[in-house]
């Protein structure tokens, strides 16, 4: 049986859950509470040394990195049905899977410089925040989180994030001009790989980034699928969603204005 270690509101976890549902794969789960620090459990660190989710275990084989997990599941357990076959379409899909590393980094920056930062600052003492950050095993991730908590939207990571999102959403618009889905007429692995990140932008209240574009319609179509309803919409508690939207929306004007300046 497939075993997924994941977090309910974690974007990288959500895209894997959507993938599992799209492929019709049953799985066991261990839900980690990232705010409580479950990811720092020494037993979990043996599976994922950076203390991040998701991690998939398939009959003893440990797979980390959400896009790699999606590709693995599709290839090994789904006959590769979600991956375009050969040529430019497959190159594009595989390129998007790689780009997800940067897209996640951008979404992490936008989340922790706005809504999450506000929530953490309001609910924890400076000592508790410092202690939680000190537990992050990866020095680069630790330094980034510290910077985002200290500087919010003034962090240098936010400028990079806005550039990444500008390129991502711009390239999505171009792709979606060719068909309803990222690969054209056929729904596929790229749609699943990207849904959580675009979903998070909307949940933060920053949907004006794609005003008048095709990305909004694509997100609505993704949200209408059973996989999203079962694994994202139906699993994120309404109170948590409301808190994020309210906290994020307070920063929407600044974020969207800066995004538009980058987009030109």
Beta carbons within 10 angstroms of residue 263's beta carbon: 14
Give the C-alpha separation, 92 to 234, whole Å: 31
CB of 212 to ligand GSH, least distance (A): 29
Q: Is 240 in the site for ligand GSH (CB under 6 A)?
A: no
- Longest CA–CA separation in the chain, Å: 54
Question: Quick check: 114 binds ligand GSH (CB under 6 A)?
Answer: no
As given in the structure block, the two tokens for residue 128 are: 């508790």
| Residues paired with 181 in a beta bridge | 184
- 52 scored as a contact of ligand GSH (CB under 6 A): yes
Candidates 19, 20, 39, 93; binder of ligand GSH (CB under 6 A) is 39
CA 26 to mean position of chain CA atoms: 22
Which residues, numbered 6-25, are part of the site for ligand GSH (CB under 6 A)? 7, 10-12
End-to-end CA distance of the chain: 49
3-state DSSP assignment of residue 30: strand
Annotate each residue in 119-148 with x if it binds ligand GSH (CB under 6 A) or - if it does not, as one string.
-----------------x------------
- Asked whether position 157 contacts ligand GSH by CB under 6 A, the answer is no
- Contact between 66 and ligand GSH by CB under 6 A: the answer reads yes
Residue 225 and residue 182: Cα distance in Å, rounded? 15
* Residue 66 or 113 with smaller CB distance to ligand GSH: 66
Residues 6+ apart with CB under 8 A from 76: 58
* Choice from 22, 65, 71, 74 touching ligand GSH (CB under 6 A): 65
User: How does strand 2-6 pair with strand 27-31?
Assistant: parallel
Please report, for residues 49, 132, 171, the alpha-carbon distance to residue 114 in angstroms, rounded to integers and kept in the order given: 27, 18, 25
Would you count residue 101 as binding ligand GSH (CB under 6 A)?
Answer: yes
Task: State how far the Cα of 62 lies from the Cα of 9, in Å rounded to an integer.
Answer: 22
**62 lines the binding site for ligand GSH (CB under 6 A):** no
Is the Cβ of residue 7 or residue 84 nearer to ligand GSH in the bound state?
7
Among 104, 144, 157, 200, indicate the residue that binds ligand GSH (CB under 6 A).
Answer: 104
Q: Which tokens go with 176?
A: 């979606």
**Position 99 contacts ligand GSH (CB under 6 A):** no
**Which is closer to ligand GSH, CB of 124 or CB of 260?**
124
User: Per CB under 6 A, which region of 52-60, 163-171, 215-223, 225-233 contacts ligand GSH?
Assistant: 52-60
Contacts of 103 by beta carbon, 8 Å cutoff, 6+ apart: 164, 165, 168, 194, 197
Of residues 136 and 247, the one with the C-beta less far from ligand GSH: 136
**Is residue 53 close enough to count as binding ligand GSH by CB under 6 A?**
yes
In the complex, the residues that contact ligand GSH under the rule CB under 6 A are 7, 10-12, 34, 39, 52-54, 65-66, 101, 104, 136
């Amino acid at each position: 049986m497939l075993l997924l270690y994941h977090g309910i509101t974690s974007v990288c976890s959500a895209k894997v859950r959507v993938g599992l549902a799209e492929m019709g794969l049953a799985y066991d789960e261990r839900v980690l509470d990232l705010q409580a620090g479950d990811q720092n459990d020494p037993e979990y660190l043996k599976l994922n040394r950076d203390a991040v989710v998701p991690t998939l275990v398939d009959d003893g084989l440990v797979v980390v990195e959400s896009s790699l997990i999606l590709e693995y599941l599709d290839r090994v357990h789904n006959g590769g049905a979600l991956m375009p076959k050969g040529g430019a379409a497959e190159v594009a899909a595989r390129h998007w899977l790689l780009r997800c590393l940067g897209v996640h980094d951008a979404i992490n920056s936008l989340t922790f410089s706005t809504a999450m930062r506000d929530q953490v600052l309001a609910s924890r003492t400076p000592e508790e925040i410092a202690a939680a950050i000190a537990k992050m095993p990866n020095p680069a991730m630790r330094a980034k989180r510290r910077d985002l908590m200290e500087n919010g939207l003034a962090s240098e990571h936010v400028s990079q994030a806005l550039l990444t999102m500008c390129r991502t959403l711009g390239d999505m618009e171009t792709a979606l001009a060719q068909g309803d889905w990222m690969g054209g007429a056929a729904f596929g692995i790229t749609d699943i790989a990207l849904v959580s990140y675009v979903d998070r932008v909307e949940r933060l209240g920053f949907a004006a980034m794609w005003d008048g574009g095709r990305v909004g319609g694509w997100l609505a179509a993704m949200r209408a699928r059973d996989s999203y309803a079962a694994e994202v919409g139906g699993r994120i508690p309404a109170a948590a969603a409301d808190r994020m939207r309210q906290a994020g929306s307070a920063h929407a004007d600044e974020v969207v204005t800066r995004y538009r300046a980058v987009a030109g």
